[in-house]
């Protein structure tokens, strides 16, 4: 029977609405509604281009019922996928209709290598293919499609994972895979002991941060965590979600984003003076968004402080393969603690991920944490928290074990693996150098060397008229600049205000992940926009 309620004039054949799938329309409508920025201080919600309106913590109509929202959820922000990215998703749909002066959207907002063209590592994809569909190993042609070491490794992995990739595993991860990761960590750290019981496999390193926040934060106790500024917004967001407070310690931009231990001690003392109970310190090395690599001396200072002040050290080490400065190298905090005689004297959590480095398997959601120095009672609660989520995904667990245990010299897959690894890392270094050099040529822009990670974090000096225009739209000055960049170039970056910065300074974070054939075009677009922006608002 014809139902007129399902037939609307705007859905008539030939209309713009009728030409798009219903699901896509709903998605675009949600994105338009989501293009609102929540004030990190007041919890107010700002419509795009509008003034702040108070977010009332009161009942809302929701499918005929009433819904109260958790104020911590409303308060939490994640700038890497915030207002500008939501607008960019709409823009990417509009580009095909010729509504913008560019033909592509360039996603420089997030470290997502394969989305911007980085190819997967062959060895990892081959093994995942066989683990996902073991019947391929029974095909006589398998040896023509896959190297012998891949087939051998796949059979061993399949035997180690009861039920295959579609089954649950133990909550901390498959025991055999945890053992493989532990052995690899011990090799990485020059023989420093790593117990498989200290390894928890994760759905990405972010899952480890969530787990630690749930374990450590007691909202009624005014708990807090020391976090570097600029920081990766995962930390501020999870602190907000779980009722903790962020205690900032500022990195020194004039000293290549170096860490000053006196600044750290000052921040700790000030927080305690205010009555906050500082439970932990987060350290990101190499840095995100700043790209710096901590010196060994910095690491020793941090470890001594944690031991003296009874702080949990959360060491975010997901960029450990991404070190480009010839004078720097990665050393894990666990290794430094061992060499200084302070390992197991206080709790350390080290995080790693398949999403970064040269692997770039972001969608696999693979990673692990190593935890040492926790009392048994805390370890029991960590196990319980992991059990509530049942287990990490099996494909991510396998990818993590492969990241830590690549093919060895003499094996058939070794040569291609090393060629791909070296090619990606050397290309990233070249792109980082090219981008930073170009940024430093722009008027009013300075950018420290990207010693590691996947990002540049330039400082931009904006004209007074631009700051005034941003205020009129209820935006931060760097947020206004980044939105203008998007609308004029299609380049998606993240304003520095989303990471934290010293008052009176403005920045943005950009990846250098676009391919070498594309990075020149990105720089050209950005340079022209910057010149035009200064001319418009000077």
- What band does 98 get if pLDDT is binned at 50, 70 and 90? confident
In this prediction, residue 56 carries a pLDDT of 43
In this prediction, residue 43 carries a pLDDT of 38
Per-residue pLDDT tens over the stretch 295-350:
999 999 999 999 999 999 999 999 999 999 989 999 999 999 999 999 999 999 99
Per-residue pLDDT tens over the stretch 362-379:
988 999 999 999 999 999
Count of positions (residues) in the chain: 538
- What band does 54 get if pLDDT is binned at 50, 70 and 90? very low
Q: Say if residue 36's pLDDT is above 50.
A: no
Secondary structure of residue 491 in the 3-state scheme: strand
Q: Which residues, in sequence order, are bridge partners of residue 491? A: 106
Q: Say if residue 52's pLDDT is above 80.
A: no
Q: Say if residue 257's pLDDT is above 50.
A: yes
Where is average pLDDT lowest: 48-57, 230-239, 338-347?
48-57
Per-residue pLDDT tens over the stretch 374-417:
999 999 999 999 999 999 999 999 999 999 999 999 999 999 99
Q: Are 383 and 215 in contact (CB under 8 A)?
A: no
Q: Are 101 and 491 in contact (CB under 8 A)?
A: no
Does 136 or 34 have the greater pLDDT score?
136
CA–CA separation, 293 and 331 (whole Å): 10
- With 0-12 / 13-18 / 19 or more C-beta atoms within 10 angstroms meaning exposed / middle / buried, residue 535 is exposed
Q: Say if residue 475's pLDDT is above 60.
A: yes
Q: Say if residue 244's pLDDT is above 80.
A: yes
Where is average pLDDT lowest: 42-46, 235-239, 290-294?
42-46
Per-residue pLDDT tens over the stretch 484-518:
999 999 999 999 998 999 999 999 999 999 999 89
Q: What is the average per-residue pLDDT within 202-208?
A: 93
In this prediction, residue 26 carries a pLDDT of 54
Sign of the four-CA dihedral 347, 451, 289, 400: negative
DSSP state letters, 60-118: EEETTEEEPPPHHHHH---GGGSHHHHHHHHHHHHHTTT-SSSS--EE-SS--GGGGTP
- What band does 30 get if pLDDT is binned at 50, 70 and 90? low
- Which residue do the tokens 């960049």 mark? 485
In this prediction, residue 37 carries a pLDDT of 44
Nearest to 510 by CA among 461, 457, 468: 457
Q: What is the average per-residue pLDDT within 453-466?
A: 95
Q: Give Cβ neighbours of residue 63 (< 8 Å, ≥ 6 apart).
A: none
Q: Say if residue 283's pLDDT is above 90.
A: yes
In this prediction, residue 11 carries a pLDDT of 42
CA–CA separation, 526 and 524 (whole Å): 5
Nearest to 265 by CA among 223, 308, 216: 308
In this prediction, residue 282 carries a pLDDT of 96
DSSP state letters, 380-431: HHHHHHHHHT----HHHHHHHHHHHSPPPTTSTTHHHHHHHHHHHHHHHHHH
CA–CA separation, 131 and 166 (whole Å): 10
Predicted TM-score of the model (pTM): 0.84
CA–CA separation, 513 and 493 (whole Å): 12
Q: Say if residue 96's pLDDT is above 90.
A: no
Q: Say if residue 13's pLDDT is above 50.
A: no
Q: What is the average per-residue pLDDT within 417-436?
A: 96
In this prediction, residue 72 carries a pLDDT of 79
- What band does 150 get if pLDDT is binned at 50, 70 and 90? very high
Q: Say if residue 105's pLDDT is above 50.
A: yes
- What band does 286 get if pLDDT is binned at 50, 70 and 90? very high
- With 0-12 / 13-18 / 19 or more C-beta atoms within 10 angstroms meaning exposed / middle / buried, residue 403 is buried
- DSSP letter for 57, please: -
CA–CA separation, 182 and 500 (whole Å): 35
CA–CA separation, 424 and 515 (whole Å): 10
């Amino acid at each position: 029977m014809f139902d007129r309620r399902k037939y609307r004039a705007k859905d008539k054949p030939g209309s713009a609405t009728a030409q798009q799938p219903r699901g896509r329309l709903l998605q675009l409508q949600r994105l338009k509604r989501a293009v609102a920025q929540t004030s990190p201080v007041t919890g107010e919600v700002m419509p795009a281009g509008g003034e702040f309106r108070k977010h009332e913590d009161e009942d809302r109509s929701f499918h005929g019922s009433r819904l109260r929202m958790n104020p911590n959820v409303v308060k939490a922000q994640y700038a890497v996928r915030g207002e500008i990215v939501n607008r960019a998703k709409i823009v990417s749909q509009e580009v095909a209709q010729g509504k913008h002066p560019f033909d592509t959207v360039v996603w420089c907002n997030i470290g997502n290598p394969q989305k911007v063209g980085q190819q997967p590592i062959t060895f990892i994809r081959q093994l995942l293919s066989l683990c996902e569909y073991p019947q391929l190993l029974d095909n006589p042609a398998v040896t023509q499609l896959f190297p012998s070491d891949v087939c051998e490794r796949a059979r061993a992995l399949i035997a180690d994972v009861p039920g295959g990739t579609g089954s649950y595993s133990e909550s901390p991860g498959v025991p055999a895979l945890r053992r493989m990761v532990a052995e690899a960590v011990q090799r990485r750290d020059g023989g420093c002991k790593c117990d498989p019981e200290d390894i928890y496999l994760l759905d990405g390193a972010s899952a480890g941060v969530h787990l630690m926040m749930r374990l450590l934060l007691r909202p009624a106790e005014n708990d807090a965590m020391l976090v570097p500024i600029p920081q990766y917004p995962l930390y501020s967001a999870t602190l907000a979600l779980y009722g903790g407070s962020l205690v900032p310690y500022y990195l020194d931009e004039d000293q290549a984003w170096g860490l000053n231990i006196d600044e750290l001690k000052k921040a700790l003392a000030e927080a305690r003076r205010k009555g906050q109970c500082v439970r932990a310190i987060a350290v990101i090395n190499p840095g995100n968004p700043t790209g710096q690599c901590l010196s060994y001396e910095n690491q020793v200072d941090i470890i001594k402080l944690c031991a003296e002040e009874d702080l949990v050290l959360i060491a975010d080490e997901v960029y450990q393969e991404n070190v480009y400065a010839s004078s720097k190298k990665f050393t894990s905090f666990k290794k430094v603690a061992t060499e200084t005689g302070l390992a197991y004297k206080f709790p350390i959590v080290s995080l790693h991920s398949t999403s970064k480095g040269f692997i770039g398997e972001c969608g696999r959601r693979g990673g692990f944490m190593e935890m040492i120095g926790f009392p048994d009672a805390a370890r029991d609660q960590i196990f319980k928290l992991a059990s509530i989520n049942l287990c990490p995904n099996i494909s991510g667990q396998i990818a993590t074990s492969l990241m830590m245990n690549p093919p060895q010299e003499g094996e058939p897959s070794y040569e291609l693996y090393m060629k791909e690894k070296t090619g990606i890392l050397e290309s990233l270094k070249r792109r980082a150098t090219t981008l930073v050099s170009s940024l430093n040529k722009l008027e009013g822009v300075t950018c420290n060397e990207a010693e590691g990670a996947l990002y540049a974090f330039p400082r931009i000096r904006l004209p007074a008229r631009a700051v005034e225009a941003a205020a009129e739209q209820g935006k931060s000055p760097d947020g206004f600049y980044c939105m203008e960049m998007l609308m004029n170039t299609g380049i998606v970056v993240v304003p520095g205000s989303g990471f934290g910065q010293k008052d009176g300074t403005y920045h943005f974070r950009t990846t250098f992940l676009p391919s070498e054939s594309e990075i020149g075009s990105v720089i050209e677009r950005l340079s022209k926009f910057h010149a035009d922006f200064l001319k418009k608002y000077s």
